[in-house]
Amino acid sequence: MKFFKKLSFSWYFFITTIIIMLVILIISPSSFNSSLFKFLDLLVKIIPFLIIVFILMFLANYFITPKIVKKYLLNKNKGLKWFFAVIFGIISTGPIYMWYPFLADLKPKGIKEGMIATFLYARAIKPALIPLMIYYFGLFYTILFTIFIIIFSLIQGSIINKMEVEK
Amino acid sequence: MNRGIINSAYRAAKGIFNALPLLLGVTLLISIVITLVPTNTLISFFGKDMFLNTLIGAVLGSILAGNPINSYVIAGELISFNIGIIAVTAFLISWVTVGIVQLPAEIMILGKKFAIKRNLLSFVFSIIIAVLIYLILFLGGLI
């Protein structure tokens, strides 16, 4: 019983997904097999990103001290700060949830929630997939899509910052 | 070795390890959703009402998750079934900006209020952007 009391929500969540998989195994073994293969396929693709995230977290821990954050990211040049949040969001790769620990790590260092939101929203632009998007939807549509994502990533960031301030 | 390097590596490893059960759980959940909801099922959700379709597109994109390539392929299928560009755009944008499947992980790691605010705003924005893109394409005579 003590063991279960020590378990965090994240472990309960993981155990629940395993139980769902077991239920699928009983109801539809073919769906179970397909889900399992997709899971393993995703896992193989995710591992390199986990390594990248580990390296970034290590670098952030080592170099981005609260002092440095204050100096560069909390400086008076607001435009540059937002510009970097958008650019980092666009160039960051891998599944969105791989970035949560890294971003959570930056919070105590003074990064505002709005900038995190901007970063996460700007991730909707995938430079590597732009040719595919042009192929499916055309060049003009892709340009519009990209411009609106950038604009709304900044709008979302400023709304969340304002909500934070009002709170 | 520099103590700072060891400390930084330890903290990074601890951060990854703490997030691991959530990350594995979300990955498993995505695999289940991708398997159990095929493209034909998605198409059957849409009707003829443009605005209702936009809302359905945004909801489906929010629930589904995975590689954006999948969203392009599904969106391509939706267009071939004459589902309007406005619904397809809402679907594409909410797929990459809203994450119902990832929400438990986001809540746990980044905070409940932040995660809910961010996802709600992203959902609303997916519809607004879809309308704006539709208007530009429509007024430009491109659709």
Query: What are the pLDDT digits (tens) for B38-54?
Result: 777 878 888 888 889 99
Asked if B121 contacts A156 with a C-beta cutoff of 8 angstroms, the reply is: yes
Listed by number, the residues of chain A in 127-166 with a beta carbon closer than 8 Å to a beta carbon of chain B are: 129, 132-133, 136-137, 140-141, 144-145, 148-149, 152, 155-156, 159-160, 163
**Chain A residues close to B7, C-beta within 8 Å:** 61
CA-based nearest residue to B99, from A97, A19, A42:
A97
Q: pLDDT at position A129, please?
A: 80
Share of chain B above pLDDT 90, in %: 43
The encoded tokens of residue A20 equal 């769902």
Distance from CA of B41 to the nearest CA of A (A): 15
Does A67 or B122 have the greater pLDDT score?
B122
A74 falls in which pLDDT band (50, 70, 90)? low
Report which of residues B18 and B121 the model is more confident about: B121
Higher-pLDDT residue of A151, A93: A151
So what's the pLDDT on residue B106? 93
3-state secondary structure of A84: helix
Average pLDDT, whole number, for chain A? 84
The complex's ipTM?
0.82
| Residue B1 pLDDT level (bands cut at 50, 70, 90) | low
**Whether this model's pTM surpasses 0.95:** no
Q: Which residues contact A66 (CB under 8 A, 6 or more apart)?
A: A108, A109, A110
Inform me whether the pLDDT recorded for B125 exceeds 90. Answer: yes
Assess contact for B31 and A35: CB atoms under 8 A: yes
Quick one: pLDDT band at residue A158, thresholds 50, 70, 90?
Answer: very high
Give the pLDDT confidence of B51-64 residue by residue, as tens digits: 899 999 999 999 88
Decide if A57 contacts A105 (C-beta within 8 A): yes
